């Protein structure tokens, strides 16, 4: 995808919207990343499931989906999709909030790419999207996800037993959040 399609760029990553044309790369990366993702998340790993998933992110105004793409080093084309960050349940008006869902793909995990991508999404959310607050609900045992939001400046706001239905059961979650004021990006 041309760099002009990026919504925001960092030193090593850039973010752009989902497209239906990303189905093959996304689903291949999701299949390669099953061991990393389970039991925390289940991104679409076949073309049909991706079409429905991406369609919701593209068409539903209460969602915004971003692909975190690795940027090239200038000597050749940019790298592929490193992961994804979605803002779900976007509420406007006095609330101006959204709930994050995200995942790194195995080839990019542990390289700091998602941290930079989350920073880009946060700035985009507090800027062009006009949000004030982002929330992340994380299962207590998901150390990688907890570390990501801690590094990104989110604060722990609480614990919710039996909060989300994942992998056939209601799972406990910690509630983390960041606001525009916390980052100096008042909207």
Please report, for the chain, the start and end positions of each structural domain, with discontinuous segments joined by +.
Answer: 3-135
Determine the angle formed by the axes of helices 143-151 and 113-126, rounding to 10 degrees.
Answer: 50
* pLDDT tens digits in sequence order for the chain, 187 residues long: 455 689 999 999 999 999 999 999 999 999 999 999 998 899 999 999 999 999 999 999 999 999 999 987 543 345 699 999 999 999 999 999 999 999 999 999 999 999 999 999 999 999 999 999 999 999 999 999 999 999 999 999 999 999 999 999 999 999 999 999 998 876 5
Report pLDDT for 5: 84
CATH number given to 3-135: 3.40.630.30
Kindly give the pairing relationship between strand 97-104 and strand 133-138.
parallel
Distances (CA, A) of 104 to 19, 41, 61, 79, 115: 18, 11, 24, 14, 10
Reported pTM: 0.92
| SS3 state at 85 | strand
Report pLDDT for 75: 39
Report pLDDT for 77: 45
């Amino acid at each position: 995808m041309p760099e002009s399609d990026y919504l925001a760029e960092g030193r090593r990553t850039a973010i752009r919207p989902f497209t239906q044309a990303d189905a093959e790369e996304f689903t291949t990366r999701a299949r390669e990343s099953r061991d990393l993702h389970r039991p925390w998340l289940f991104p679409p790993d076949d073309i049909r499931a991706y079409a429905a998933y991406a369609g919701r992110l593209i068409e539903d105004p209460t969602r915004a989906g971003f692909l975190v793409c690795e940027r090239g080093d200038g000597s050749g084309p940019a790298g592929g999709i490193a992961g994804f960050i979605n803002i779900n349940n976007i509420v406007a008006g006095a609330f101006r909030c959204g709930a994050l869902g995200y995942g790194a793909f195995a080839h990019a995990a542990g390289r700091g790419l998602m941290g930079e991508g989350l920073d880009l999404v946060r700035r985009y959310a507090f800027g062009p999207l006009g949000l004030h607050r982002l929330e992340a609900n994380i299962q207590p045992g998901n150390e990688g996800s907890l570390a990501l939001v801690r590094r990104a400046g989110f604060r722990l706001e609480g614990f919710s037993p039996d909060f989300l239905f994942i992998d056939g059961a209601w799972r406990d979650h910690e509630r983390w959040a960041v606001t525009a004021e916390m980052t100096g990006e008042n909207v």
